């Protein structure tokens, strides 16, 4: 079976076109070699690809006839991605959640209060110096 069809069948990508684009960007390797979309995949092949900022490693166990349901995916592949990669992704999500780019729209209510408090501190210090 072709690599693009296999990764589509085991539900790593929504469309075969997405797999083809990933192959063209050299993001998919089979047994350590960069794969074209037409590369044939056989049982015991090791596929490495980068998706959603995670380098995933899977081993082909069997070749499906058609696209399989989510519950049956484990019959056709074994996921060997280290758990640290998923933990790293969670940390990335949390860090993005708490940061706000400067100049990205109006300040939030908390930002406005922080700005007001900062301004009040400066004016209070100037009044103390003049006395």
Run of H or E including 102: none
Residue 17: the pLDDT is 93
The pair of three-digit structure tokens given for residue 121, joined into one six-digit string: 């501190």
Residue 122: the pLDDT is 63
Residue 85: the pLDDT is 81
| One pLDDT digit (tens) per residue for the chain, 131 residues | 899 999 999 998 999 999 999 999 999 999 989 989 999 999 999 999 988 888 889 999 999 988 999 899 889 999 888 888 888 878 777 766 555 666 667 878 887 888 788 777 666 655 555 55
26 conformational bin, left if phi > 0, alpha if psi -120 to 50, beta if neither:
left
Which residues is 47 bridged to in the sheet? Answer: 30, 58
Residue 31: the pLDDT is 92
């Amino acid at each position: 079976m072709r690599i693009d069809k296999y990764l589509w069948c085991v539900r790593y990508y929504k469309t075969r076109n997405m797999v083809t684009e990933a192959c063209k960007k050299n993001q998919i390797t089979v047994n350590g070699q960069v794969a074209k979309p037409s590369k044939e995949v056989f049982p015991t092949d090791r596929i490495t690809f980068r998706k959603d900022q995670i380098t995933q490693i899977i081993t082909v166990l069997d070749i499906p006839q058609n696209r399989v349901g989510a519950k049956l995916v484990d019959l056709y592949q074994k996921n060997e991605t280290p758990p640290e990669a998923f933990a790293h992704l969670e940390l990335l999500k949390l860090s993005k959640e708490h940061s706000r780019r400067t100049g990205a729209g109006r300040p939030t209510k908390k930002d406005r209060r922080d700005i007001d408090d900062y301004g009040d501190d400066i004016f209070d210090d100037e009044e103390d110096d003049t006395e």
